[in-house]
Structure 1
Amino acid sequence: MIRGIYIIGLPGSHKYKIGEYLKNWFDWEIIDLQEEVEKSLHKTLLEIINQKQLKNFENEQEKFIFSHIKSGIVFISSDVVPKPEIVSKLKENGIIPIYLNYSKETLEKEIERNQELNTILKVHPFEEYQKEIEDISNLLINVPTEGFTDKEVAVMIVRALKSEYDLIFSNNDKVYEGINAFNHINEILEYEGFSRAFFITYKKLFVVNFKWVFDVIKKSDFEPYVFFLPEKEEIKELDWVKKIWFEILNLKIRKDTAIVGIGGGSSLDLIGFCASTFRRGFPFVSVPTTFISQIDASIGGRNAIHYLNHKNVLGTIYYPRFILIDPVFILTSDEEKFLYSISDAIKYGLLFDSEIINYLENEEVKIKRRYLPTIENLIRRCALTKLNVCHIDPYGWSQTRYFEFGNTIAYLIQEVLHLDYPKALTKSIYLILKFLEKNNILKEKTILKRIEKLFELYTLDYHLSEVDIEKLNKKCQLDEIEITGNETYESPIILKIKKEEIFKL
């Protein structure tokens, strides 16, 4: 059983910063061994090295470690590399030793910013550190750091931990979910009858999350292929459909191969469309990596691309063979994008399950620091809500239309004000609630105030200026949209309105 982590790294390898991410995500205690031992000996490590008392430091460090081992601990190693017997004993006690692999060139750049490192390395040179690391290398999990942010390195450490997953839903959408569930993609694909996989994803996402997966795949008979999408480009276009079709044909992919899409809502839309239209439907696996795609966009079998400057006009309803939801992907999301994506969960709370609103209010601190068990609970609750609705109405004739709450107006706001979809959705939800309050058709009279406070808790800008409203009015068509709550679920709203009525506000 994993009880904690011991992070080893050269001076300047950001051990503590990386440890702080793990502390936030798992609510683990973090202990800086160098700081604790220096306090105990009343000397700095530099003084100890200069006085040739390193043995005293090592003994005190060992004593401190083994008197503080418990579940949920992150030890930050001192700049003194532990001996092999200490590392072996740590592993026996459920503490996983992680080595942050830093090059000499990167270390030299750190020295330019922190001259204290230079002083330490003069008495304990880089080459000596490397030799000491080599002596314990077979006991360590080696995590690369070159070219990665501290947060990405922390995610790679999370990926190195053991994990479990559950089949949480099995109907039109079969869904596996769990922290680090992606580490098991190989065995799930084999269980589902595939012997090969064509992964379509983004390069950075691939490098950060695939290291351990590919270590497993290399040891098996499973055959992987990888195709990278461009990082910053509109991809829901026919040109990209053709490129993916070409790659599938070029590889002579058979039906025992799964097309595995790994990314956010836009990329999964594109990949699902490609799979659904190739050879009248090719096996497709969806691995959503953003909060919105995990609770919404990947569920329900809807795939669409843009055509001739019209959004989502070419589409299919084609359910993936399975969806794999892993909350660990959320950890590397941009802070602002992650917080604005909470609007989608608010939408679910308004339409179907008021407990989601309560959860967002009560767990705000943990959600904002992305405490994984709390994030997982929120994702599960929202995903199961949509899965159950799609099970009742798989082709979108009745109940799944409720998910359009806010979406149509959000797309309009997105187009006119050039905002990301989550930001546009936030403003759209507020507009609609304001309209409902004005017309006295809110079931729960305090809901607008609660949602305003919720937006403020998550630092979401929900206001629209008069200039914005004027721009939207010019663009607004008079077609009707239904925004309705289903009495089967707990929903504070039910109405039918026209778009231009909202903008009169």
Structure 2
Amino acid sequence: MKIILTGMMGVGKTVAGKKLAEVMNIPFLDLDEHIEKKACLKISEIFSRFGESHFRQMEREACNEISRMNDVVIATGGQTLLDKKNLSVLASSGIIITLHCSPEKILSRIKNDRGQRPLLASNSKEALYRIYSEREPEYLKLPNKLDVTHLEPENVVEEIMKLINGEESRFEMIVGEKRSSSLICRGIIDNIGPFLKNIYQDKKAFILSDTHVFSLYGKRLTSGLHEADIKEDVFLLPPGERQKNLAVVKKIYAWLQEKNATRSSLFISFGGGVISDIGGFAASTFHRGMKLVNIPTTLLSQVDASIGGKNAVNINEAKNQIGTFYFPEHVVIDPLFLTTLSHKQMQEGLIEALKAGVIADKDLFLLIKNHVPEIMLKDLKLLEQVITRAVKVKTSVVTQDPYEKNTRATLNLGHTFGHALEGSFKYSHLSHGQAVGLGIICASKLGLLLNLTSEYFLPEFKEVLTRMKAPTKIKNMNASRILSLMQFDKKRKEGITSFIVPKKVGETLIIKDVNKKYILESLKEISHG
């Protein structure tokens, strides 16, 4: 785990960071000291000899370097994360924690070391207040804020540990005689062994993951299993949608057979939506069903893909054509996995969560709308609220209609258009979340054409996508190809395609037998030229 401390000069990042590293038993790195060692010069000397712009370039290079480090506490400089490039790089590599402090307290802390702070070389109180007034509004935009004005360093560490650990939330679905539970808890991966040991007697787990996820978190998962005397066999796939095919599933079957897996064996899907889809399909069909636990590591899989019991693989450009309904015994959701996601991965997961808000939770929609920047930067409390509310929506809908006979189809909002869009670009141009966002725009336009959707919905939805920097239009779209791919939509019955359209935020409708001209007109809403 990487913890990145930021905040004004003098808030106590270095002192608290050293104590935090001791508690977590991982190394500590002070970014300014790191730069000084590489330059063989003090920061003040770099400023005086080469100027501030040269130092900032060195700082950017250092941020790129430390973004590749794991298991470390880092104290950044006072202005480091106010640089958008630095913020972007580090936000995808660890947990940013922003320390706040009153200017008066800062002044008392730095009164004896102003000579080491080039921007306070004037030795004036006015200089600090000027810098504080300039920077504080920017710090308020950063995630995981903690006021340390009245805290001693050891208390700061306690508050940070509380932030990292969080509290548990549980949801349960009952499908026939089967109970499927979802546990949301920060840091649960480190206690996964005892958690599973209390549930399963089998001493072996079969883990399906991808190479990227396992390189980041595999050791933590297996270490947790070993603590509970659970041994593991691991099957790794390259990341990406192209793995969702029967040829890959056949290889998984061969692996399970070779390793003597049985119906009572534990199968763990450890990764994003692709892994939970393939893993769920393999686990549900090998020996007619193994015990399944999903450990989702992306926002998209945590709020959607890993929960509802739908598992499938693709055929050519047609998505999720062969699949099963098979509910995991447990879904174990650790929001801390999200701290290493890229902007694009956060974006696609947040669009799926936004979809849940459109379907059945206006407060979730507004939560995302009002806090996009902080959520994208992985504010843990906000993220946990988003995940919890989205899981609650999906659990509620699936419990009422587990096998998609009726109302569960509303969870496919944006997917009839979205899946066809993905297929038309051969899964290489759009992420799934981006395709769903564009699909909801098309569904909204369809609703407007049929006088079913509020005129206020589409502009508001587009505004939220824009705040996420998600596309609202797309170039080189082949409308006839998209229309052709819709014939493979799973909701299609007796040759008729169903569409889910939003009536307003928090309410949707299922419509059928839509005239082709309205579908083509709806696609024009996302066409860029």
TM-score (norm 1): 0.69
Could you tell me how far 1:372 is from its partner in structure 2? Answer: 1.0
Is 1:11 equivalent to 2:11 in the alignment?
no
Report the counterpart of residue 113 of structure 2 in structure 1.
41
Which residue of 273, 280, 290 maps to 1:272? 280
Is the 1:289–1:330 contact (alpha carbons within 8 Å) kept by the matching residues of 2?
yes
Q: One-letter code of the match for 1:456? A: T
Is the 1:24–1:369 contact (alpha carbons within 8 Å) kept by the matching residues of 2?
no
Alpha-carbon separation, structure 2, partners of 1:486 and 1:420? 22
Is the 1:263–1:290 contact (alpha carbons within 8 Å) kept by the matching residues of 2?
yes
Alpha-carbon separation, structure 1, partners of 2:498 and 2:378? 34
Q: One-letter code of the match for 1:370? A: K
Is the 2:415–2:439 contact (alpha carbons within 8 Å) kept by the matching residues of 1?
yes
Report the counterpart of residue 345 of structure 1 in structure 2.
353
Alpha-carbon separation, structure 1, partners of 2:477 and 2:400? 42
Give structure 1 regions of 4+ aligned residues with deviation exceeding 6 angstroms: 35-39, 157-160
Could you tell me how far 1:306 is from its partner in structure 2? Answer: 2.6
Alpha-carbon separation, structure 1, partners of 2:369 and 2:241? 36
Q: How does 1:384-463 map to 2 (within 5 A)?
A: 384-417=392-425, 418-442=429-453, 444-463=454-473
Alpha-carbon separation, structure 1, partners of 2:506 and 2:261? 46
Report the counterpart of residue 171 of structure 1 in structure 2.
174
Which residue of 157, 160, 185 maps to 1:95? 157
Is 1:237 equivalent to 2:245 in the alignment?
yes
Is the 1:193–1:256 contact (alpha carbons within 8 Å) kept by the matching residues of 2?
no
Check 1:229–1:277 CA distance in 2 against 1; reply closer, same or farther (3 A cut).
same
The Cα offsets for residues 84-105 of structure 1, whole Å up to 9 and x where unpaired, read as: xxxxx977x6738xxxxxxxxx
Alpha-carbon separation, structure 2, partners of 1:395 and 1:90? 53
Which residue of 382, 395, 399 maps to 1:374? 382
Is the 1:351–1:493 contact (alpha carbons within 8 Å) kept by the matching residues of 2?
no
Check 1:253–1:474 CA distance in 2 against 1; reply closer, same or farther (3 A cut).
closer
Q: One-letter code of the match for 2:34? A: P
Check 1:160–1:225 CA distance in 2 against 1; reply closer, same or farther (3 A cut).
farther
Give the gaps of 5 or more residues in structure 2.
4-12, 22-27, 36-61, 67-73, 82-89, 102-106, 119-144, 523-529
Alpha-carbon separation, structure 1, partners of 2:501 and 2:253? 40
Could you tell me how far 1:255 is from its partner in structure 2? Answer: 5.0
Could you tell me how far 1:11 is from its partner in structure 2? Answer: 2.2
Could you tell me how far 1:169 is from its partner in structure 2? Answer: 2.2
Is the 1:441–1:494 contact (alpha carbons within 8 Å) kept by the matching residues of 2?
no
Q: One-letter code of the match for 2:208? A: I
Check 1:370–1:439 CA distance in 2 against 1; reply closer, same or farther (3 A cut).
same
TM-score (norm 2): 0.66
Is the 1:480–1:499 contact (alpha carbons within 8 Å) kept by the matching residues of 2?
no
Report the counterpart of residue 363 of structure 1 in structure 2.
371
Is the 1:283–1:320 contact (alpha carbons within 8 Å) kept by the matching residues of 2?
yes
Bigger shift: residues 410-419 or 174-183: 410-419
Is the 1:167–1:174 contact (alpha carbons within 8 Å) kept by the matching residues of 2?
yes
The Cα offsets for residues 62-120 of structure 1, whole Å up to 9 and x where unpaired, read as: xxxxxxxxx9489xxxxxxxxxxxxxx977x6738xxxxxxxxxxxxxxxxxxxxxxxx
Check 1:426–1:392 CA distance in 2 against 1; reply closer, same or farther (3 A cut).
same
Give the gaps of 5 or more residues in structure 1.
47-70, 75-88, 97-156
Q: One-letter code of the match for 1:482? A: S
Is the 1:160–1:212 contact (alpha carbons within 8 Å) kept by the matching residues of 2?
no
Alpha-carbon separation, structure 2, partners of 1:476 and 1:220? 48
Q: One-letter code of the match for 2:457? A: I
Check 1:207–1:385 CA distance in 2 against 1; reply closer, same or farther (3 A cut).
same
Alpha-carbon separation, structure 1, partners of 2:289 and 2:279? 12
Alpha-carbon separation, structure 2, partners of 1:255 and 1:476? 36
Report the counterpart of residue 101 of structure 1 in structure 2.
none
Report the counterpart of residue 520 of structure 2 in structure 1.
503
Could you tell me how far 1:471 is from its partner in structure 2? Answer: 5.1
Is the 2:165–2:186 contact (alpha carbons within 8 Å) kept by the matching residues of 1?
no
Bigger shift: residues 378-387 or 447-456: 447-456
Could you tell me how far 1:281 is from its partner in structure 2? Answer: 0.8
Q: One-letter code of the match for 1:427? A: L
* Equivalent position SS for 2:437: helix
Q: How does 1:179-190 map to 2 (within 5 A)?
A: 179-190=186-197
Check 1:313–1:225 CA distance in 2 against 1; reply closer, same or farther (3 A cut).
same
Could you tell me how far 1:345 is from its partner in structure 2? Answer: 2.2
Alpha-carbon separation, structure 1, partners of 2:366 and 2:509? 17
Alpha-carbon separation, structure 1, partners of 2:403 and 2:173? 17
Could you tell me how far 1:36 is from its partner in structure 2? Answer: 10
Alpha-carbon separation, structure 2, partners of 1:257 and 1:169? 22
Check 1:466–1:198 CA distance in 2 against 1; reply closer, same or farther (3 A cut).
closer
CA RMSD for the aligned pairs? Answer: 4.0
Q: One-letter code of the match for 2:199? A: E
* Equivalent position SS for 1:40: coil
Check 1:160–1:429 CA distance in 2 against 1; reply closer, same or farther (3 A cut).
closer
The Cα offsets for residues 45-64 of structure 1, whole Å up to 9 and x where unpaired, read as: 99xxxxxxxxxxxxxxxxxx
Could you tell me how far 1:246 is from its partner in structure 2? Answer: 1.9
